[in-house]
Amino acid sequence: MRAGMLTRALLSMGHQVTWWTSAFNHSSKRHRTNRSQMKVSPEGVRLWLMHGIAYSRNIGLSRLVNHLQLALEFSRLAVAELPPDLIFCCWPAVEVGFAAVRYAERQSIPILLDVRDLWPDIYLDAIPPAFRPAAKIALAPYYGMTRSAFRRASGVVAISEGYLDWGLAQAGRVRGPNDALFPLGYQEPDWTKASLSERNHSLLALAGSDSRLLCWFLGSFGDTYDLESVIRAARKLKDQGVNDCQFVLSGEGEGRARLEKMACGMENIVFTGWLNADQIARMMQKVHVGLAAYRKGAPQGLPNKIFEYMAAGLPILSSLSGECEQFLKTNFCGISYAAGSPDSFIEALLSLTADENRRKELGANGLRAFRSHYSASVVYPRLAGHLEHIATEAPRTQPPARAAVGRLRCSS
């Protein structure tokens, strides 16, 4: 979504964009094509789909092989391309970012690394503490590529202050004029276009009655989330005879079967499966609370989920500490609870159940802050302007090959 929204902003400013991405769809775990190929969108975006093997787990050896293949494909295919004026490279993947920096150096092109996830730290985080020293040795090549890429990049941008600090630490320097924070902007839903199709009617009926407080999780059922505590809390509420809350879990992921088994027989929990943009917009109009349920120690700083809920005017119930907890307090748009604690979750939830005015106030505060600072219409023209300035001001050893071309790399 971030690369797509940035692309639209660049196109609106008259730039050309070549977008490099994986032929393997990370969300659906399916290939878009069976080989590397370039396609041109109706808007004129040149889209390079780079082929790599499939993987079923978000963290695993197969994904590392996939990323290595993407880096090799980029290095092979990019040499035949006209050099762009600037490269904007999303981080991760480590291997592709490293390859992009090497290419940028050879072509004397400025390159910005956009920190969206803390790789390779995320692999260490998934390993039991007793095995982390050995794992860090095994991951030494990835840490080496990371430090090298950030030290040689023209600048670092990031989705949060914490992530920007991490990137600058990898670069081994203080913040400079090319480094900046650009949060994960989100496109505010167009409620007038949210259809009332038969499929959406069925979805809304499945979600539950308007007479109950609908608590909604939208995301993937992956390793960094803690929906187990939400399910345990729902069971406690059911056993206590509290029936005015319903939990709607939307998404897919490797943990779905396990979570559905855990919630078996519980009428106050509903799994909707994956939702398209229209269905998400319809759900946003129906639900009352947005859940950001992450496990203790999750590496996310300010994830996209927070801005999605703010765009819908939903009060947020979050288990993320640190940067996200402070963000919710500063903007008065949500409540934090202790990760892994069903009791803490219940206490925070019931405080919203008991006070409708507070719930509406938190949601309104979030929507107001979103429209002022975090809407895609605010964030991405600013980011595009930042790229434009660097591309224009960067010293070159050769003239640009074409006028204002942005090359984007997205890991999705």
- 118 and 159 in contact (C-beta within 8 Å)? no
Q: Mean pLDDT: which of 206-210, 346-350, 392-396 is highest?
A: 346-350
Give the model's confidence band at 403: pLDDT under 50 very low, under 70 low, under 90 confident, else very high: very low
Q: Which one is predicted more confidently, 22 or 224? A: 22
CB atoms within 10 A of CB 134: 10
pLDDT band at residue 88 using 50, 70 and 90 as cut-offs? very high
Strand order in the sheet with 16-22: 37-40, 46-50, 16-22, 405-409, 86-91, 111-115, 155-158, 180-181
User: What average pLDDT score do residues 148-163 get?
Assistant: 95
Q: Which domains does the chain have, with CATH numbers?
A: 2-185+376-409 (3.40.50.2000), 191-373 (3.40.50.2000)
Percent of the chain with pLDDT over 70: 92
- How high is the mean pLDDT of the chain? 89
Is residue 199 over pLDDT 80? no
377 pLDDT exceeds 80? Answer: yes
Q: Write down the pLDDT at residue 13.
A: 95
Under 8 Å CB-to-CB from 376, ≥6 apart: which residues?
Answer: 5, 185, 186, 187, 188
pLDDT higher than threshold 70 for residue 209: no
Strand stretches in 293-401, DSSP E: 316-318, 334-336
Contact 385, 180 (CB under 8 A): no
Residue 402: per-residue pLDDT: 37
Residue 141 has pLDDT above 90, yes or no: yes
